[in-house]
Amino acid sequence: MILLVIVASILIAAITIIQFNKQSKEYHEQRLERKENHLILNLNYFLSESKTESLDSIPQNKINEITDIHEIPFELYGLQGNLLKSSIPSSINNFDKILSPEILTFFQKENKTRYVKDNEESKYSKSSYNLIYNNKIPIGIIHMPYYIDDALSRKELESFLMNLGIVYINMLLIAFVFAYFLSNYITKSLTRISQRIKTTKLNEENAKIDIEKTPMEVSILVDSYNSMIDDLEESAIKLAKSERETAWREMAKQVAHEIKNPLTPMRLTIQSFEKNFNPEDVKNRNKIRDFSKSLIEQIDTMSSIATAFSDFANMPEQKKELLNVVEVVQIALDIFDKDYVEYATENDEILTLFDRTQLIRVVTNLLNNAIQAIPEDRNPMIFVKVHSNEKNVVINIKDNGNGILEENKTKIFEPSFTTKSSGMGLGLSMIQSIMNAYNGSIAFKTKENQGTTFKVTFPKKLK
């Protein structure tokens, strides 16, 4: 818009100057012709009234009188080009005393009565030459120098262009101000839209944009975004449903596999007992004891599988109670009663709001993983440390086990992922869920064949 104003102002100024020059040229040409006609009529009238037949017979005072009447000087030449009379004072007369052959030839051959030429070496802009007739017979040539004075017109033109410039400068200022507020009005809406787009996530609820009084183009963009949010929410629901179904299918396969493992030895044990049982055998009591012990072990295995699956599927409701983390971690460590587990803490009391059972479950799962990660041929060492900073409680559990392979680092928190020969692979996934519920986090550092350190962080109770 600003560019259009600038281009329009330049075009109008150029057209104005061109039109002024054209009108000025036409005006002076017409004025020169009128002056010529008036002079010739006046001379003809004097010649006819005075019965004068030659131009050199006209008195000088009459020449001066005619010049004063029409306010324009003139000269009279004979047909041979010699100067006869002049109203221009000799002190400022720069014209030739004899006409140039060019002018004389023009009148003799072209059969025309008027000749005009531009003067470049004189203060007069133009010179016009006309034949003077007496009784239709040419008796001489009148020369009339014409001075074009455009000072007043050019001053008016300059004044007009200046006023035009002021108008367009004001228009530019108005355009700048309007463009500034318009751009702010538009970019403000676009900035809000941009910020909202940056915070849009597939797995979270996204708010729609509600902006009133926006340009039509921005309104279309807002409507498109809101429509996209509806589609995204619908897609997220479908994706979450699909992921849940996939996870449960994988879990069902894992559960079925884990249950089949103890069922096979149970079946073989029962078949063997049925085949080899002898009522009269004196060792029946011992055989029945061994048979019962084997079945109970397999049943316990299936029970632990069912318990793990139930714990993962039915996480207890979030319950916050004031706990001393130092004491709760000690209780969890006492369950294992391992001499190679070292426990260190900076303070005797670090308070937090957490579920006691959930915290014990977190520690026991991590400690159990640490114990199982250490090879049998290696002297086990596990270090447990509890400390705190300004806002959080931090629990570190470090082992000297095999570490986590590079390809498994992104999978260890996935449900049903495990590198052990037994177990459901739900422990770390369950710990992550617990941490998320209490605004905490779990992370790890590992080195292959050197060990792993798990770091659990959650908010502490501020005094």
Domain boundaries, the chain: 2-149, 216-313, 321-459
- Cα torsion 12, 14, 20, 26: sign: negative
- What is the enclosing helix (H) or strand (E) of 323? strand 321-324
Query: Concatenated DSSP letters for 187-248?
Result: HHHHHHHHHHHHT--TTS--PPP---S--HHHHHHHHHHHHHHHHHHHHHHHHHHHHHHHHH
Residue with the bigger pLDDT between 164 and 138: it is 138
Q: Are the folds of 216-313 and 321-459 the same?
A: no
Residue 361, both tokens: 């479950």
Q: Quote the CA–CA distance of 155 and 78 in Å, as a whole number.
A: 41
Across the range 156-175, mean pLDDT stands at 80
Across the range 263-287, mean pLDDT stands at 70
Quote the pLDDT of residue 381. 92
**How many residues are listed for the chain in this entry?**
463
With 90 as the cut, is the pLDDT of residue 39 above it? no
Residue 60, both tokens: 């000088």
Quote the pLDDT of residue 383. 95
pTM of the model: 0.41
With 90 as the cut, is the pLDDT of residue 307 above it? no
Looking at the chain, the whole-number percentage of residues with pLDDT higher than 90 is 12
What is the rounded radius of gyration, in angstroms, for the C-alpha atoms of the chain? 57
Cβ 436 vs Cβ 459: under 8 Å: no
* HSE (side-chain half, CA atoms, 13 Å) at 239: 9
DSSP assignment letter at 439: T
Query: Average pLDDT, whole number, for the chain?
Result: 78
Q: Report residue 315's pLDDT band, with 50, 70 and 90 as the boundaries.
A: low
Across the range 325-330, mean pLDDT stands at 92
Give domain 321-459's CATH number out of 3.40.50.720, 3.30.565.10, 1.10.3720.10, 3.40.190.10: 3.30.565.10
Q: Report residue 265's pLDDT band, with 50, 70 and 90 as the boundaries.
A: low
Residue 216, judged by CB atoms within 10 A of its CB (0-12, 13-18, 19+), counts as exposed
Phi, psi of 202 (to 5 degrees): -70, -40
Q: Per CATH, which fold does 2-149 belong to?
A: Beta-Lactamase (3.30.450)
CA dist 200 → 192, 196, 236 (Å): 12, 6, 12
Pick the range with the lowest mean pLDDT from 211-215, 270-274, 335-339, 427-431. 211-215
User: Is CATH 1.10.1740.10 the classification given to domain 216-313?
Assistant: no
Q: Quote the CA–CA distance of 237 and 231 in Å, as a whole number.
A: 10
Quote the pLDDT of residue 386. 94
Q: Report residue 343's pLDDT band, with 50, 70 and 90 as the boundaries.
A: very high
- To the nearest 5 percent, what fractions of the chain are helix, strand and coil? 55, 15, 30
Q: What is the pLDDT of residues 118-132, one digit of tens each?
A: 766 555 577 888 888
Largest CA distance in the chain: 185
Residue with the bigger pLDDT between 315 and 238: it is 238
**Cross-sheet strand order for the sheet of 114-118:** 83-86, 75-77, 137-146, 126-134, 114-118
For residue 386, the Cα-to-chain-centroid distance in whole angstroms is 47
